[in-house]
Amino acid sequence: MRKKKDRMDFGPIQRLFGSNAVTEVIDFLSTFREFDYSINEIAENTGVHRRTVSRVLPSLEYYGVVVNVRKIDRASMYKLNGDSETAAMICDLSKTVAEYDVDNLMEKDDTSLSESSVLKKNVVATIE
């Protein structure tokens, strides 16, 4: 029996728009935007089937969110487009959602102010 996932098991974009191949790929690439990944690596890290990742990437490339940065042998390597205004807005939205969720968790958990600010700083740092 599969364990039911908690809301917070998903990335910020998935929590906002729902979990689907596009949101999973965007969340992964925006979280690890310093690195480039092959289609197989994106599939392995997101749990999205390789063929689905192959179908999603052209649309994300068309809108400038993702860029094909190089080839290693036959594998094309993709990463979030650091020069894209659209990608920057997605990262800002991701950060805003993460901050909102941390604030709500802290209210519910009634964590001390110092613990709350440290947790929020750590969560936001992983997104930036």
Band of the pLDDT at 2, cuts 50, 70, 90?
A: very low
Q: In this structure, what CATH number is given to the domain that contains residue 54? A: 1.10.10.10
Enclosing domain of residue 57: 9-127
Residue 15: inside a domain, yes or no?
A: yes
pLDDT tens digits, one per residue of 17-73: 888 999 999 999 998 989 999 999 999 999 999 999 999 999 999 999 999 999 999
CA 125 to chain centre: 13
C-beta separation of 94 from 27 below 8 A: yes
pLDDT tens digits, one per residue of 62-115: 999 999 999 999 999 999 999 999 999 999 999 999 888 888 877 776 655 555
Residue 3: inside a domain, yes or no?
A: no
How many domains does the chain divide into?
Answer: 1
